[in-house]
Structure formats: structure tokens, C-alpha cells
A and B are shown apart, each in its own frame.
Chain A
Amino acid sequence: MAGEIDVVQTLATTVAAGTPVLYATLGEILTERSGVLNLGLEGMMLVGGMAGFAATAVTGNVFIGVLVSLAAGAALALIHAFFACSIGVNQVVSGLSLTLVGTGIAAYFGRSLVGQPAADSFQTIKIPVLSDLPVVGPILFSQNLFVYFSFLLVPALYFFIYRTRPGLNLRAVGENPATADAQGISVVGTRYLYTMLGGALVGMGGASISLGSNPNWQENITAGRGWIAVGLVIFALWNPWRALVGAYLFGGLEALQFSLQVAGVPISSYFLRMLPYLLTIAALVFTQWRLKDQAGRASSAAPSGLGLFYLRRERG
């Protein structure tokens, strides 16, 4: 008992702790692939989490709660899309404002929800047969629906982005909007669409906390996970599979710091607490360094049009 780390349980906790960050990262990947940089993740997660919890409280149905969280995330992202794609303001600034506004909206409208137990929430579902498998059973197949859905979402998004025509259009808009425009793709329309779809996923990431892992509403329930996701997008090189790796690395370090403490490993808990953030920074440095090595593989680099306003030049 003492002195040992329960690896299986630590990994199971890793998956659970990484899932909200995973949704936020996937959402931002979609958005950034279209060339829009939205730093409002924290705000969208909070509004999604609050709205989802509120809708569940009113209707008693968690699935309606999830739908509302998707809609709330998308609605907030729409504001950003308007400023970024139609007016052409600095996207960094607009995204930061969105975080502030989102945090405020969630806190204000969530006020009456504080202290309420969740009307309904996503419980752990053990998948028959699979959950009985040694090792992988407890880690992957004794989780809640948010986790299972993310298992499907990652390959689906990968396939969509790299193997379908709409995915190709999405990448084209993000890489070279002028060329995409010449091809007859609506740049502004595409950017609106994926900013909102991305926002919806980020909102759902918030709901995966308020209706999943921590079924209640508290202000700032995300505690900075939206910002972690911003870093993970770069770590992931805008690729859903790598986002999965990054999110689980983050979740793994979160889980490991306590497993080590429980096992009595003599490492300062201050150091352990820094690990997830150190990792994020290290990953960013590593990514930059690797990119130089592999210059030319456009699919693994940042979309060239990221953060830039596109305005079609009229021919005189």
C-alpha cells in the first residue's frame, strides 16, 4: 500500500482530468484551422458550463443541458466571429475581451445556481465486457459519457480535417484565404461557421465539468483550464490526435502530483504543482524547435492565415 503508486487508478484519473481540456483544445483547433484566433476559451467554457448547468436545473435533463452549453459556447463565439471576421479588429484583443465578458456573464447569471445540487449529471458508466478488461477496462471504459464521446470525437475530427472536402476547404481558408476565395469558398462564412462550431465544443468542455466531473456550479469552476487549452493547441500542432496526447499529459501530471504525495515520495508538492505548467511551456518550446526542423510540412504548422483579417480586394 504505502510507497506504491496505483498506476491504473492514476491513469483513470488522468483521462477524467484531461477530458475538459481536451474538448476546449479540440474546439480551438477547429477555430484556428479556419484562421481565426480566439483566446476567449476560458470565458466560453465558463458560459457553457453555467448555461448547461442552468438548463439541466430547469429541465431536469442533462442532454438538454449539453445542447444548451453547445449553443451558449457558439453564441459567445459568434460575437468574436463578428469582430474578427466582419470588422477585422485585433483578434487577440477581441478574444481577451471575450474571456472577461464570458467570466462576468457566467458569474452573474450563475449566482442563483450556487449551492444547488445538480438536477442530473453524467455518472460513471461501466461499459459491459470492456470495463472488465484488465488495465484498459478501469482506465478507458469506466468513465462518463463526456469521456466516451471524446474518444469518438478525436478520430472524427481528424478524419474531417484531413480527409474530407469540407475539411480541405477549412484548411484552405486558414492557410491562404485569398486562394480559397478565388476557389469560390466563402472565407467569411467558413470562418463564422468554424468559430461557432469551435466555440460550441469549448462550451461543452465547460459542461463536462459542471455536469460531469464536478456536478455543481461555482464561479470560475474552470480555474484556468481554458488558458491551458490555448497552449495545448500549439503543442498539438493543430492536430486532434496530438491534442489528445497533450490533454492527457496535462491530466496525467495533475493526477500524478497527488499519487506521488499519497505514496509518500519525497518531492516538494510545490514542484509537483508546477509540473503541468512547466510541461505546457516545455511543449511550446519543443514544438517551435521541431517546426524549424520540419519546415515545409504545412499540415503540421500553424495555419498561415491565423489571426489575420481577410478582406476581398475589389477590382477597380
Chain B
Amino acid sequence: MKNSRNQSKFGLVAGVLLALSVLLMACGDSTATTASTAAAGTTAAASATTAAAGATTAAGATTAAGTTAATATTAAAAGATTAAATGEKFKVAFVYVGPIGDGGWTFAHEQARKKLVETLPNVEATYIESVDENPTTSEAVITELAQKGNKMIFTTSFGYMDPTINVAKKFPNVYFEHATGYKTAANVAVYQVRQYQARYLAGIVAGKMTKSNIIGYVAAFPIPEVIGGINAFTLGARSVNPAAKVKVVWTNTWYDPGLEKTAAKSLLNAGADILGQHQDTPSILQAAQEVGKYAFGNDSIMESYAPKAHLASPYWDWSPYYIERVKAAMNGTWKTGDYFGGLKEGVVDLSPLNAVVPDDVKKLVDEKKAAIKAGTLDVYAGPYKDQSGATKVAAGATLSDKDITSINYFVEGVDGTIPK
């Protein structure tokens, strides 16, 4: 090919297209532009450079598409914050695994970030979304955020664990917080929420509402967080309906609306009349609504997507933790730690139940919720067996936090296998 000419033209094309998209964004962001035109100018320049950097990587790798788009929009959002910012603010950054518009996991973190900024006006909190979990990409992103003067960085997905630890070594004066991981350091804390508590409550609703006694469950990856969630959901269902079975399918992706829907359909075809899920999108609810069945949301309250089918959503409110930790960092009282909050701390909850759920079930869920909060009900308290029928946890025993975060078997009543 006659590449020399083409390549110089590529610069032109990319430049024009990117300038165009930046322009579009600047127009859309008119609320922030009045504050300072100078700031807007620098924002545009910044986003153009980040976007261009993305474009070079993308020419080689098709998967970078999402990342680049993300960088461009982030820059616009960051610009909005910069425009308002004068004087010294405490700079905090968030690294997200999905787009903030996923309506699930990342959406929940984004809501908490917004709340953080509202509650602590002296904090400037920016984010970068759709950051790939591969170590090269995520480590580069986290490093850049540390270099840019952020005092505190939250990395919100399991896959960022090692990159976070690596970057933290190079920036001992920056506080790092890693969600769902288990490696800590002097300046790296980990935090996780007891998702299983809300999933247990959801299981109770499912056990009461199922007529076929087949409850479907669409699951992303066979990691302890997901496996434990399925166990808790199953224990909840069988605590009120010992005949109920939970049928599990794996999608091996967090985010693919089309695929998740196909997975949900296969469960509905197999006779499931209630669907639980551990995915980042509302597709499962939509599949259930189409055929007049019920389903649960996940991570955020997903009622609006399928109000008829939506029984409830186990959801996480990260804001109490974020506010507390950022405050501590600002006061200089921050210490590393291993946070595992639940219903009691207000970081985990099950959203209000659908009107079709009978009042006695609602009452039961409220009682159990209160019991978990009070510490009188332990979701993982024995006795129960694993799939082979062997007793896993004896009566009077329970799981330690370490057991919970490394669980690798299904309890009795789960119909499915953990891929090896």
C-alpha cells in the first residue's frame, strides 16, 4: 500500500474527527462553559490528547474502542469539575471497570462518588471509566492518576488488585482503596460489602414466589463473590421452600446485554419462573418481563427497566464508606484496613419489594433483615451440605470472613457446576 501518504492523511482524519467529537461534547456541556472559557479551552486540549493517545492504541487492538470513548467523555466531565474548582481541594480519583451508564456495578459507584462530592464540598473527585482490567492498561491509568496529584485513588474492580499494589509502592504518599480484593499495604486498604446478606433476602422472596420450584440464576464469573452469592440466595430460598432448586448458567462476561438475555431465555425455557442474577445489566429482567415471569436486579435498583418483572434488587450504597474514608484521609487519620460492611452499616440493602409480593412475605423479609442487622441471624450459619450431600457447615458452626471470601463450592440445592 502507499502508506506514507495515507498515514499523513490519517493524522488529518483522526484530528478532524476527534476535534469534531470534542466540539460536540463542549456544546453538550454548556452548563459548565460559563464558568471559565480558559478552563474549557484546556479541557478540550486535554481530552484531545487523551483521545489521540487512545486512538493510537486502538489502531492495533480493536478492544480499545470502549476505553478511548471513555477517556474522551471523562475529560469532559473532569473539565466540568475543574471549571468550578478554584483554591485547594482534596483530589480523589475513581477507576471504574465499566461505563458509568451500565445501570449496575459502575453506576452504583458513580452515584456514591456524586454523593461524596455533595457531602464534602472541599473534595474534587474525578473518575475514569471503562478501564480494562488487564495489568498494563490499568496500571498505566492508576499511575497517571497518582502523578496528576490525586491524594486518594479508589480502584473499583477485583482485577485492579495487583496493579493497585504495584502503583502504591511507587507513591507512598497517596492513599489507595481497592474494592473486592484481599491484598493490603501500608497505603492500600481493601473494601468489600456483604452482598450475600441482600442475596439471602432475595432468595427468601424467590423461594416464596416460585411455582415451578425452579429458580434460574444468571452468573458472570465463577469467583468467590459470585459463588457465595448463589449459595446465600439458595440458602434463603430453601429456608422457606426446601423443594426449590436454583439452576445456574455462566456467561463468563460482566457486560453483554444480548448474551445475558439469551442466557435468561434458556433458563426460562427450562421451566424457571423466577430469575436471580449476578450481572451488570438489566437484560435478565427484560427477558422475564417478556414472558410474564419475575426476576431480580443487581448492584443498582433496576426497577425502571422492567417494573412488572422486577421483584427487588440487591444493591450497594458505597457512599457511607467513601465519605468516611475520604474524611479520614483529609484529617490524616486514614489507616489501612480490610472493610467488610453489610446491612448493618447501610452499604448493602434489598430494594422495596414489588407490589405483587404478598404482605406476609414482605413481613418475613423485614423480620429477617432486622435479624441480620441485629446480628441474631447469620446467613452462613449451619447446618447445610454441599452439592454432593456432604455436610459442609455443621449445626452451630458458620463461615469466617476468610471462608466467605474464598468460597469455592455450591451448597445443596444449586443445580449447576463451577467451571474449572
Interface residues of B in 48-80 (CB under 8 A from A): 51, 54-55, 58-59, 62, 65-66, 68-70, 72-73, 76
- The docked-state distance in angstroms from the alpha carbon of A99 to that of B14 is 12
Q: Are A117 and B70 in contact (CB under 8 A)?
A: no
- The docked-state distance in angstroms from the alpha carbon of A258 to that of B10 is 43
A261 touching B249 in the complex, CB below 8 Å, given contacts A13-B265, A209-B257, A215-B286: yes
- The docked-state distance in angstroms from the alpha carbon of A87 to that of B5 is 11
Q: Which of B51, B262, B270, B419 is the one whose CB lies under 8 Å from A1?
A: B270
Q: Is A291 an interface residue (CB 8 A)?
A: no
Mark the stretch among A90-98, A167-175, A180-188 that contacts chain B.
Answer: A90-98
B-chain residues with CB within 8 Å of residue A262 when the two chains form the complex: 247, 249, 266-267, 269-270
Q: Are A117 and B72 in contact (CB under 8 A)?
A: no
Q: Which of B102, B259, B269 is the one whose CB lies under 8 Å from A219?
A: B102
> What is the minimal beta-carbon distance from B112 to any residue of chain A, in angstroms?
16
Q: Are B286 and A216 in contact (CB under 8 A)?
A: yes
Q: Is B147 an interface residue (CB 8 A)?
A: no
Q: Is B367 an interface residue (CB 8 A)?
A: no
- The docked-state distance in angstroms from the alpha carbon of A20 to that of B247 is 28
Mark the stretch among B20-28, B311-319, B372-380 that contacts chain A.
Answer: B20-28
Q: Are B58 and A96 in contact (CB under 8 A)?
A: yes
B-chain residues with CB within 8 Å of residue A258 when the two chains form the complex: 249, 262-263, 265-267
> What is the minimal beta-carbon distance from B211 to any residue of chain A, in angstroms?
15
Q: Is A213 an interface residue (CB 8 A)?
A: yes
> What is the minimal beta-carbon distance from B5 to any residue of chain A, in angstroms?
9
Q: Is A234 an interface residue (CB 8 A)?
A: no
B-chain residues with CB within 8 Å of residue A97 when the two chains form the complex: 13-14, 17-18, 55
Closest to B269 in A: A9
Q: Are A117 and B304 in contact (CB under 8 A)?
A: yes
A-chain residues with CB within 8 Å of residue B70 when the two chains form the complex: 107
A273 touching B18 in the complex, CB below 8 Å, given contacts A117-B305, A214-B283: no
Q: Are B66 and A220 in contact (CB under 8 A)?
A: yes
Q: Which of A87, A98, A105 has the most CB of B within 10 A?
A: A105
Q: Which of A110, A225, A255, A258 has the most CB of B within 10 A?
A: A258
Closest to B252 in A: A273
B-chain residues with CB within 8 Å of residue A90 when the two chains form the complex: 1, 3, 6-7, 9-10
- The docked-state distance in angstroms from the alpha carbon of A166 to that of B281 is 44
A223 touching B55 in the complex, CB below 8 Å, given contacts A124-B290, A258-B263: no
Q: Which of B6, B25, B306 is the one whose CB lies under 8 Å from A108?
A: B25
A-chain residues with CB within 8 Å of residue B149 when the two chains form the complex: none
Is chain A's binding surface mostly helix, strand, loop or mixed? helix
**C-beta contact mask, B387-418 vs A, less than 8 Å → 1, else 0?**
00000000000000000000000000001110
Q: Is A269 an interface residue (CB 8 A)?
A: yes
Closest to A84 in B: B13
Q: Is B261 an interface residue (CB 8 A)?
A: yes
A219 touching B101 in the complex, CB below 8 Å, given contacts A13-B266, A269-B419: yes
B-chain residues with CB within 8 Å of residue A145 when the two chains form the complex: none
- The docked-state distance in angstroms from the alpha carbon of A90 to that of B304 is 44
- The docked-state distance in angstroms from the alpha carbon of A224 to that of B76 is 25
Interface residues of A in 9-23 (CB under 8 A from B): 9-10, 13, 16-17, 20
> What is the minimal beta-carbon distance from A5 to any residue of chain B, in angstroms?
9
* Interface of B toward A, CB cutoff 8 Å: 1, 3, 6-7, 9-10, 12-14, 17-18, 20-21, 24-25, 28, 51, 54-55, 58-59, 62, 65-66, 68-70, 72-73, 76, 98-99, 101-103, 107, 130, 247-253, 255-259, 261-263, 265-267, 269-271, 281-283, 286, 290, 304-307, 415-417, 419-420
* Interface of A toward B, CB cutoff 8 Å: 1-2, 6, 9-10, 13, 16-17, 20, 42-43, 79, 83, 87-90, 93-94, 96-101, 103-105, 107-111, 114-117, 123-124, 209, 213-225, 227, 254-255, 258-259, 261-264, 266, 268-270, 273
> 23 A-B contacts, Cβ less than 8 Å apart?
A10-B266, A10-B269, A43-B65, A89-B6, A89-B12, A90-B3, A98-B17, A100-B65, A103-B69, A104-B51, A104-B73, A107-B70, A108-B28, A209-B257, A219-B130, A221-B257, A221-B258, A258-B263, A259-B269, A261-B249, A264-B416, A269-B419, A270-B419
Q: A17-B262, A90-B10, A97-B13 are in contact. List 19 more A-B contacts (CB 8 A).
A: A16-B265, A89-B9, A100-B17, A104-B51, A104-B73, A107-B69, A108-B21, A108-B25, A215-B286, A216-B282, A220-B255, A222-B258, A223-B258, A255-B266, A262-B270, A264-B415, A268-B419, A269-B249, A269-B419
